[in-house]
Amino acid sequence: MFDVLVYLYENYWRPDACPEHDQLTRKLSSVGFESDEIEEALTWLDGVAAVAQSHVGEQGAQSVRVYAPVEQEHLGDASIGFISFLESAGVLPPPMREMVIDRASAIPGGPLNLEDLKIIVLMVFWSLGEEPDALILDELFVDEEDRLIH
């Protein structure tokens, strides 16, 4: 599923630039994705859109997030730490944080792989038509071992 999401991010400027589901399914299938991972990714993206609608206009700039034990278990310490990092950097406001947590919770299994969480964060930005700043993109795309220290 995550490969499909990355493909969509890399090939479509915004979600509204994507073709309708049937045409998009055919396109994704023609580039080599399996039908079950296409369906899973498109269903997951529909969930992003639904969550985005429910969080439209929310403020909550001073909110504090307390994770339930089931969320802690599902997300894992690394993912919760990364979400906290993005919040403290001022790039993940509370409504987007909640979207990330909701969509991460929709992924079966756990604890969630940090690289998968980064794709979820990227797709939340993408679904809202927002481009994260360059430093955050670097955090989302570059593995720590591949970073150059200046």
Average pLDDT for the chain:
83
Model confidence, pTM:
0.79
Q: How far apart are CA 96 and CA 125, in angstroms?
A: 8
CB 6 within 8 A of CB 140: no
Contacts of 99 (CB under 8 A, 6+ apart): 48, 51, 52, 55, 124, 127
* Residue keyed to tokens 């055919």: 26
Residue 62 confidence (pLDDT):
65
DSSP-derived secondary structure letter, 109: S
Q: Given this model, what pLDDT does residue 141 score?
A: 65
Angle at 58 between CA 52 and CA 64, to 5 degrees: 105
- How large is the average pLDDT for residues 19-39? 92
* pLDDT, position 33: 94
62-115, pLDDT tens digit by residue? 678 899 999 999 999 999 999 999 998 888 888 899 999 999 999 988 789 999
Q: Where are the domains of the chain?
A: 2-146
